[in-house]
Structure 1
């Protein structure tokens, strides 16, 4: 399963399917509560004597956006728990940032980076 598919499967149902690739799609109502964006930052492909194994170790940046700072932080904690507890692949938190405010969108956001094993199968 691809990293983007894993993120949709894990986070979508808990955030009313307000999960999308970065940048923010135009269809999103920025004042409609929480939404999640994600983007692949880097990846490493794994090979053996037979060539590529079909697996990649991907670093994915997930951003949690909300109009309310406290709700943003609560949602970011929920994202960490959901990704940690999912059973689609091996996943670990790689880092992130604290709550920040984006003057352009007038939203709070928190960035969380994950390492995700993805498979072409």
Structure 2
């Protein structure tokens, strides 16, 4: 089965991201949207940690603090920072509530993640 994230398979550093994104697509396919949003948030958090690490910066803080550091130090352009925030908020909500999510929420998470 082909994945929207197949391009991540070519590099050892990105294989973990590929496996997580592939699982996220499977969650979407079975309609497990809350879990998908949580998984997308987890991937985004690890992307932010990787960016900080590649810039020799501490990445042991919370996702919110790490994302603020990326934004403050202009390590990514504003469009990418906005996408990361767009993934973070619903992922946090899905992790901490019993809300039901729908296909549109799932599509948005996939689109945001693939844009990063």
Q: Which range, TM-score by smaller chain?
A: 0.3 to 0.5
User: Going by fraction, where is helix more abundant, 1 or 2?
Assistant: 2
Q: Which has the higher contact order (CA 8 A, sep 6+)?
A: 2
TM-score (norm 2): 0.33
For the pair shown, which has the larger CA radius of gyration, 1 or 2? 1
User: Going by fraction, where is strand more abundant, 1 or 2?
Assistant: 1
TM-score (norm 1): 0.32
